[in-house]
Amino acid sequence: MYTTITVTAISLKPKKWDKDYNAEKLETYFRRAAQDQADLILAPEGILEGYVAMDVIRNPERGHAMVEIAEPIDGPYIRRFQELAQELRTCLCFGFAERIGDEIYNAGIFIDQGGDICGHYHKTQLAEGTHSSWYFDRVGRRIRAFDTPLGRMGMVICNDRSNPKISRTLVLDGARCLLIPSYGTRKKSQNAIVTARARENGVPVVQANVGNNLIISKGEVVGYKWGCDQITTAAVELPVLPSAAAAREAEREYMAEQPAAMAERYERTIQRVKENFWKRRAGHTLSAAETRSFRHWERQAQEAAASTK
């Protein structure tokens, strides 16, 4: 049992340290993507400021500039995209550097089609590690799924995807879909990692990476594009959460299909026996035992069919 939604990933490439340019470009692409009438549009990690934490690690004197460019959760740029989500009537999700006091977190945000913030996550596995002096690159301390109008979701930011425990925690918390805003490697190995997360957990995964998009549903790739500034749209199937009611409904669906399916399989089996499927020897004819078996089951089928008339 599944719920079908339409999702779009954008492999948008931002300019480092140019927040106004990036916000303008992000809005432009959100508007273009909305033409596909997706329920959800996902953009990459660090899309507002251009993912500049590594610049500060290499050039510590730029730390205060990052504090300035980082956005608070109630800041004007976030409000801009809340208003845009409401205008487009679609959910928007993207990554950005979030300022909380004098500290910065690698964050992701999920805004629903009414402009409300449903989900908010801080990256919990940093490829570069962390240090108490790195006020510009704090590590997240919570892994939580969140409710949305589309179903319960979980967010995994870039390098988080390589740790199966993070994704598993979100699914155990009820996530029916994993969203990955990313600004990382585009190697085939990362595609394999994302596919593994989907198959391990039995949920769709949508990744928007700078340079490629990847959408997986029911363990298979349903959307993929290579290159920056690409828009990829596909339908994904969100599994219904486990419950006794859902189990009984799934059972009823299968049992309704079972008689016709078993009758069809029976016909194929008898045909194989009749055509000497088992022996596969040129010129072989049915033995007396095989003939008796075939005639017995043929008679049984005829009697069963007659009894239903």
Q: What is the pLDDT of residues 155-182, one digit of tens each?
A: 999 999 999 999 999 999 999 999 999 9
Q: What is the pLDDT of residues 142-154, one digit of tens each?
A: 999 999 999 999 9
Summary mean pLDDT of the chain: 92
pLDDT confidence of residue 189: 87
pLDDT confidence of residue 143: 98
Q: What is the pLDDT of residues 278-309, one digit of tens each?
A: 555 555 666 677 667 667 767 766 776 676 65
Pair 135, 262 in one domain: no
Pair 70, 136 in one domain: yes
- Name the percent of the chain lying above pLDDT 70: 91
* Range 226-240 average pLDDT: 97
- Examine the fold and report which residue of 241, 275, 295 is the final residue of a domain before the chain moves on: 241
For residues 50, 139, 68, 18, the Cα torsion angle rounded to the nearest 10 degrees is: 0
Pair 232, 254 in one domain: no
Pair 255, 229 in one domain: no
Q: What is the CATH number of the domain that holds 135?
A: 3.60.110.10
With tokens 């049915």, the residue in question is 286
- pTM of the entire predicted model: 0.86
Pair 285, 234 in one domain: no
Q: What is the pLDDT of residues 67-84, one digit of tens each?
A: 999 999 999 999 999 999
Pair 134, 149 in one domain: yes
Pair 223, 150 in one domain: yes
- Examine the fold and report which residue of 192, 210, 241 is the final residue of a domain before the chain moves on: 241
At residue 242 the predicted structure's pLDDT band, cuts being 50, 70 and 90, is confident
Distance CA 267, CA 74 (A): 65
**3 state SS for the chain:** CEEEEEEEEECCCCCCCCHHHHHHHHHHHHHHHHCCCCCEEECCCCCCCCCCHHHHHHCHHHHHHHHHHCECCCCHHHHHHHHHHHHHCCEEEEEEEEEECCEEEEEEEEECCCCCEEEEEECCCCCCCCCCCCCCCECCCCCCCECCCCCCEEECCHHHHHCHHHHHHHHHCCCCCEEEEECCCCCHHHHHHHHHHHHHHCCCEEEEECCEEEEEECCEEEEEEECCCCEEEEEEEEECCCCHHHHHHHHHHHHHHHHHHHHHHHHHHHHHHHCCCCCCCCCCCCCHHHHHHHHHHHHHHHHHHHHCC
Pair 253, 230 in one domain: no
Pair 125, 215 in one domain: yes
pLDDT greater than 70 at residue 58:
yes
Residue pair 85/112 in contact by the 8 Å Cβ criterion = yes
- Examine the fold and report which residue of 241, 276, 299 is the final residue of a domain before the chain moves on: 241
Pair 127, 250 in one domain: no
Distance CA 50, CA 67 (A): 13
At residue 271 the predicted structure's pLDDT band, cuts being 50, 70 and 90, is confident
* Range 111-129 average pLDDT: 97
Pair 148, 282 in one domain: no
pLDDT greater than 80 at residue 245:
yes
pLDDT greater than 90 at residue 276:
no
pLDDT confidence of residue 262: 92
Pair 144, 160 in one domain: yes
pLDDT confidence of residue 266: 86
Out of 136-140, 177-181, 248-252, least confident range: 248-252
pLDDT confidence of residue 280: 53
The number of folded domains in the chain is 2
pLDDT greater than 90 at residue 98:
yes
In terms of residue numbers, what domain contains 289?
245-307
The DSSP bridge pattern shows strands 91-100 and 40-42 to be: parallel
pLDDT confidence of residue 260: 93
